[in-house]
Every structure is written in structure tokens, then in C-alpha cells.
Amino acid sequence: MKLLIRQGRFIDPVGGIGGVMDILLEDGRVAVIGSNVDPDGAEIIEAENLIVSSGLVDMHVHLRDPGYTHKETIETGRAAAAAGGFTAVACMPNTRPVCDDAEVVAYILDKAKTPGTRVLPIGALTINEDGEKLTDAAALRGAGAVALSDDGMPVQNANVMRDGLMKASRQHLTVLSHCEDKDMVKNYAVNEGQVSRALGIHGRPAIAEELMVMRDAMLAEETGAAVHICHVSTAKSAAIIRNYKHKGVPITCETCPQYFTLTEEEVQKQGTMARVNPPLRTKADVEGIIAALRDGTIDAIATDHAPHSAEEKAKPLEDAPSGMVGLETALAVTLTALYHTGKLTLSDILRKMTINPASILRVPYGRLAIGNPADVVVFDPDEVWEVEPEKFLSMGRNTPFGGRRLKGKVKYTIVDGRIVYRG
Ligand code: DOR
Ligand code: ZN
């Protein structure tokens, strides 16, 4: 099977290569990158004025299967990912049952073996994400887990985290840490600050995140094991990570589009649609996150795609679940907020959405180069469109970006040399 992507603007953040190129994909691999490539019977995509990049890699999504298939299934999650330009997504283990053994990993991989976006299961760090007993890292890795995490249920016991980091490290697995002190955040719905005060409710303080970021940075320093901080939402969290990176500590981190575009005030406008953990913060935090994206402190942009049903999100603010979908808007929100404003280059954005997350997960994706897997996204960086949640391929409609006009539209998503989405 052959596919020729003709005359697109090729961007490779690793090689620093750009420019108009033809790219030939053959038998699931990148065969040729060059000029005037002979189609020789290949199916042709005319990509003039379109960007051609490695397919996007999302290191943090919730696919809800097994157990919560009224929110999302692996099938609908993969369809949403493909529509968003993602050719690989790493799914968090907070399913029912929790993905804490080889059997659940195998179940997920089996459901995701049809053509489409690759699914990379993340195993739980502790059994049932209870934060007490460590899972069998070797067995999880053997079954195909790419990392370990108790995302959604942050590990509170520092000793468990310390042992978990060391055990994961021996299996060459990165631990992805959701940083929040549970006693400080309880089940509160919003940031602690002017909005929680205006609403007369308790909030989740920034320090609840920052203390855990500091703990994990220190544990990474002490153990030498790789720790990755999930969804950084405060300026001070980013500052701590910057400081530890400068010391050479093996710490990496991600943020999500909601944290560099929205503030806590969004909750007053959109209610439960803007409820997410960690919560939307302040303008100063948004600015701090953007600065940390610019100086390289923040390695990756992930979505934390967290679909919930309309019924669940219709509950009162304090009872509704936290989370927002992101797969179908992430690229466009990022381009609109960071590229079209001149804050980040296309190459830097793509680096944080392809090779960096893939490298942190140690998977062989994220770079469009000869011989590599033929995973590609083709997008128009300038096309304007309006977010219509009812048209999402995800079952989740819980986005805070509904009705927004965004600039940047996915045209083709290609996995293994096969077109899996046409925009
Ligand atoms: O808002 C969130 N939703 N944050 C998490 O960490 C978990 C996620 C979910 O699973 O719904
Ligand atoms: Zn999380």
C-alpha cells in the first residue's frame, strides 16, 4: 500500500528541517522524503499550503473502557483522537476495573487492534489506584503498558511513591504523577481564590499541587528515577520543575490547552463545563504556563481528554465530575492561542505534541523520518472553524470551547500509512 503526500510544508522539529516536500509512505513506513517523488501508482494527497508533520502523540487521555462506556469507548475515543490529528494516545488506568494488571492491558490492546489511532495503555502504579500496594511493574510492562500512573487518584504516601519510582525505573517505565494533596483539595470543584470566595464554596489551593510537585521533584532527585508531572496548572509548579531541571534531575512535565487559555472565572460563565482537576487557575498562572512553554520547562502538551456524560455534567457544580474533553480541539486551541499570537513557533508546538511526549513514554513514534512508522497529520494552520460539540466523534460533549472560533484544521490523519481521518 502506497500513499504520496505531495507538496506539503513538512516540519520536523528534531532535524530542524522545513520546506515543501513530497513524502512517500509505503508498507506502513516512511519510504521517501524529497522533491518530485515519482507516485508510481501511489494514492495521492495534494497538500499544497498544508502542514505535514508526524502524527500527534497525546500522552494523557481517559478512554473509559472498561467500565465507564457510557462516557466513552475505546472505539469512540480513537475516532475522536484521529479527528484531532492524534496517531497515538496513552490512556490512563482509572477505568473499572482499574488497569492494574496484565489482563486489563491485554483487554485494551485487543480492543484497539483494528486500523486507527494507536492506543498505549498506562498501568496503575498501585493496585486499584488505592495508593497502598504497588502493582507488578514487570508484568504490566510485559503486557504492553508504556508507563505507570495513578492519575485521578494522586499517590499520597511519599514512601509508596518513592518505592514505586524505583521499581518503575528498573523496568524502564516513567511514572506520570497527578500532583494534588488530597486532604487539601477534597472533592472541591474550583480553584481556591476569588471565584471560590465569590461562590461561597471551598476551593482547591494552588499549594496543594505545588507541594506534591516539590515532593516528586525531590524524590526524582534522590532516586534518579524519571518522574513526569501531569497537567501542570500553576506558575509556581512550573518554576519548581524549571529549578530541578536546571539541577539535572530527571523530571519532565506536560500542561493542557485549558491551562494556557482559561482562568477560574470560566467557572462563573460555564459552570461544570469548566470543572477540571487540577482546576483552572488565575491570569498570572496562565502567563506563567505560557512562559514555561516558551523556555522549554514544559515538555509536552497533552489533553487530559476526560469525557463525562451530559447527565453527569448537568449536576450542580459541587456534585458534577471533573474533566473536559480535548482530543478534537487541542491542536486548534493551541495554534490559536500560541502560534497565531506569535508566542510559539509551529516547530516548537509540534515538538511538544509529537517527539517530546513519545520520548518521555519511550515509544518509537512522534518523528516523521525515513524508516519510521508512517504516522502523519496534515493540517491547514489558517482555516477558521467553530467548535460544535454536538458534532464531536467523542461521546463526551463536555468542552469549555463550544462555540469558539478557532484557527487550524486537521485535514488528514494517517496511521501506519493508512488514512484514518479526512477533515
Ligand atoms: O479533571 C479530571 N478528570 N482530572 C483527573 O485527573 C481525572 C479526570 C477524569 O478521569 O475524569
Ligand atoms: Zn490527572
Whether 36 has a pLDDT exceeding 80, the answer reads: yes
Whether 159 has a pLDDT exceeding 90, the answer reads: yes
Nearest to 317 by CA among 358, 275, 361, 276: 275
Instruction: Return the ligand number nearest the Cα of 232.
Output: 2
CA of 151 to the centre of ligand 2 (A): 5
Ligand 1 atom at minimal distance to the Cα of residue 94: 10
Nearest residue (by CA) to ligand 1, atom 4, is 277
Instruction: Return the ligand number nearest the Cα of 306.
Output: 1
Q: For a pocket test of ligand 1, which of 312, 322, 327 has the largest count of ligand atoms closer than 8 A to its C-beta?
A: 322
- Position of cell 507541594? 211
Element (H, E) at 415: strand 405-415
Nearest residue (by CA) to ligand 1, atom 3, is 323
Give residue-wise pLDDT tens across range 334-393: 999 999 999 999 999 999 999 999 999 999 999 999 999 999 999 999 999 999 999 999
CA of 181 to the centre of ligand 1 (A): 15
Nearest residue (by CA) to ligand 1, atom 6, is 152
Give residue-wise pLDDT tens across range 313-346: 999 999 999 999 999 999 999 999 999 999 999 9
CA of 114 to the centre of ligand 1 (A): 27
| Catalytic residue annotation | 304
What is the reported pLDDT for 51? 98
Rounded to whole angstroms, what are the CA distances from 110 to 90, 106, 119, 370, 412?
Answer: 15, 6, 10, 29, 25
How remote is the C-alpha of 138 from its chain's centroid? 24
Average pLDDT of the chain is: 98
The answer to pTM > 0.85 is yes
